[in-house]
Amino acid sequence: MSNKIKPSILPGFMELLPNEQLIFNDIASKVTGVYEQNGFLPMDTPVIEKEEILLAKSAGETEKQVYRIDNKDRKQVLRFDLTVPFSRFAAQYMGELTFPFKRYQLGKVYRGERNQKGRYREFYQCDVDIVGNGSLSIKNDAFVISMASKALKKIGLKTYKFQISNRKILTGILEGLKVQNMQEVMTLIDKYDKITEEQFLSDLNKFVGEDNAKTIDKVIKISGSSSEVIEGLKNIDVKNEMLDTGIEEVEEVIKYLKLFGVEDNEYAINLKIIRGLDYYTGTVFETLLIGNESYGSICSGGRYDNLAQNYTTSVLPGVGMSIGMTRLFFVLKEIGFIDKYQSSLNDKYLIIPIGDTFEYCAYILKKLLEKGKSAEIYFEEGKLKKKLTYANKLNIKYVILVGEDEVNNGEFDIKDMVTGEQKKLKLSSIDLEH
């Protein structure tokens, strides 16, 4: 190994072996398939963009984590999410897009995060967003959540629960209570799950005084069915217009969720949900895995009043959500879901020539491919056992064996690698299902 370089990748990057990559791709194509079927258009933007575009809005933590290209002439950075490029895209091509513009995007994004288990510096996000020109119906908020529901159902995941809120509710309450340091209180509620109850209450008292703290604490702890939570909210003794709008919007979202096929047991109203990013202005939601809540949200999003304000004076309200596909895959591995994953992949065939039968094998291959099957011929010399091992390792279900006797009799042997069953078939039967 003297002058050889040890093959390795950078820390914090995910790389999969083929069997897992097949599952990753199958999951990704199911998710994007759902979005496409529901009218979302594909979008693809450069991984590298101008720094002044991607960092137009000073991004605090993000700015520290951004990957920069080493180039003296022009400041270029790697995208750290798909939302900022989308907002640039919407503003740039506004005249050529048809609104409401519904897009999905699957792509890699980059963040120089501290290296830790389950956190990646390069990861796939899969986003959907709907953006209107001037206005956008609240139905879209429910529709976007229903996309998350359909996507997760499609991949066979059942143990999730959407946590839905609307920022106008808490903002309205705080406005109604004439709380001055609203941002501070929102940040505190945002980290409710990460601190102790005692710490939370003590900070809240400090920020807003005892009376207001009691009211706020009561609000965020309202729980139960959606109608119970809405009922509870209506009974809170705070009068504020934004609060009323927030409650109305949640009611509308709940109503349309049902029409879009999202069942009652798939979601809860959770008034503690804020979503740190400050561009959300209405509906917000996260998605917890039941029994595995500690992994955090696997899918989240919400409504923003004005997507592209850094690039255009036009008002483009939108609603969207994002699944961190790389992180989702990691979590699904951790909880054992990937091991049991039912892939939608085709059964595969391996054709093994024994002796001088290659031409006959090529004919069988052609026939199988014409039928839409996945099939290949084993080309190399070697022991039959090695070839069967190849089939086993690659999860190939059917092995077709062709010796010279089979060619002379117009037949082939087919072995089911799962059941071990082997039978001899006529060549003409290749057009039938096995």
Interface of this chain with a second copy, residues 308 to 327, rule: CB under 8 A: 308, 310-313
Q: Which H or E element spans position 285?
A: strand 283-289
Does residue 218 bind a second copy (CB under 8 A)?
Answer: no
CB of 92 to a second copy, least distance (A): 4
Among 137, 187, 292, 343, binds a second copy (CB under 8 A): 137
Contact map string, positions 15 to 34, toward a second copy, x by CB under 8 A: xxxx--xx-xx---------
CB of 141 to a second copy, least distance (A): 10
CB of 407 to a second copy, least distance (A): 14
Q: Which of residues 232-261 bind a second copy (CB under 8 A)?
A: 259-261
CB of 94 to a second copy, least distance (A): 9
CB of 89 to a second copy, least distance (A): 7
Q: How far apart are CA 324 and CA 404, in angstroms?
A: 53
Q: Quick one: which segment of 187-195, 245-253, 343-351, 421-429 binds a second copy (CB under 8 A)?
A: 343-351
CB of 57 to a second copy, least distance (A): 10
Q: How far apart are CA 151 and CA 30, in angstroms?
A: 7
Does residue 432 bind a second copy (CB under 8 A)?
Answer: no
Q: Which of residues 286-305 bind a second copy (CB under 8 A)?
A: none
CB of 378 to a second copy, least distance (A): 8
- 108 vs 119, which CB is nearer to a second copy? 108
Does residue 1 bind a second copy (CB under 8 A)?
Answer: yes
Q: Which of residues 58-87 bind a second copy (CB under 8 A)?
A: 67-70, 74, 76
Question: What are the residues facing 301 on neighbouring strands?
Answer: 285, 321
Q: How far apart are CA 385 and CA 159, in angstroms?
A: 42
DSSP states of 387-421 as a string?
A: HHHHHHHTT--EEEEE-HHHHHHTEEEEEETTT--
- 140 vs 322, which CB is nearer to a second copy? 140
Residue 351 has what DSSP assignment?
A: E
Among 59, 62, 65, 97, binds a second copy (CB under 8 A): 97
Q: Quick one: which segment of 36-44, 167-175, 180-188, 281-289 binds a second copy (CB under 8 A)?
A: 36-44
Q: How far apart are CA 208 and CA 219, in angstroms?
A: 14
Q: Which H or E element spans position 349?
A: strand 348-353
Does residue 279 bind a second copy (CB under 8 A)?
Answer: no
- 121 vs 272, which CB is nearer to a second copy? 121
- 43 vs 216, which CB is nearer to a second copy? 43
Q: Which of residues 368-427 bind a second copy (CB under 8 A)?
A: 369, 372-377, 379-381, 389-390, 393-394
Distance of CA 234 to CAs 45, 51, 142, 227, Å? 44, 46, 21, 10
- HEC sequence for 286-299: EEEECCCHHHCCCE
SS3 170: helix
Q: Quick one: which segment of 14-22, 217-225, 289-297, 405-413 binds a second copy (CB under 8 A)?
A: 14-22
Beta strand 411-416 pairing with 422-426: antiparallel
Distance of CA 199 to the CA centre of its chain: 33
Distance of CA 249 to CAs 31, 302, 341, 389, Å? 27, 12, 37, 59
Beta strand 411-416 pairing with 398-402: antiparallel
Among 86, 89, 337, 398, binds a second copy (CB under 8 A): 89
- 108 vs 434, which CB is nearer to a second copy? 108
How many CA within 13 A on the CB side of residue 140?
Answer: 26
Q: Quick one: which segment of 42-50, 189-197, 243-251, 266-274 binds a second copy (CB under 8 A)?
A: 42-50
- 93 vs 356, which CB is nearer to a second copy? 93
Q: Are 247 and 234 in contact (CB under 8 A)?
A: yes
Instruction: Return the residue matching tokens 């809860």.
Output: 268
- 8 vs 419, which CB is nearer to a second copy? 8
How many CA within 13 A on the CB side of residue 392?
Answer: 9
Q: Are 14 and 330 in contact (CB under 8 A)?
A: yes
SS3 52: helix
Does residue 346 bind a second copy (CB under 8 A)?
Answer: yes
Q: Quick one: which segment of 49-57, 208-216, 232-240, 408-416 binds a second copy (CB under 8 A)?
A: 49-57
Torsional sign, CA 57, 61, 67, 71: positive
Residue spans of alpha helices (H) in 155-276:
167-176, 182-190, 197-208, 210-220, 226-234, 241-259
User: How many chain residues bind a second copy (CB under 8 A)?
Assistant: 90
- 199 vs 344, which CB is nearer to a second copy? 344
- 191 vs 373, which CB is nearer to a second copy? 373
Among 59, 132, 335, 343, binds a second copy (CB under 8 A): 132
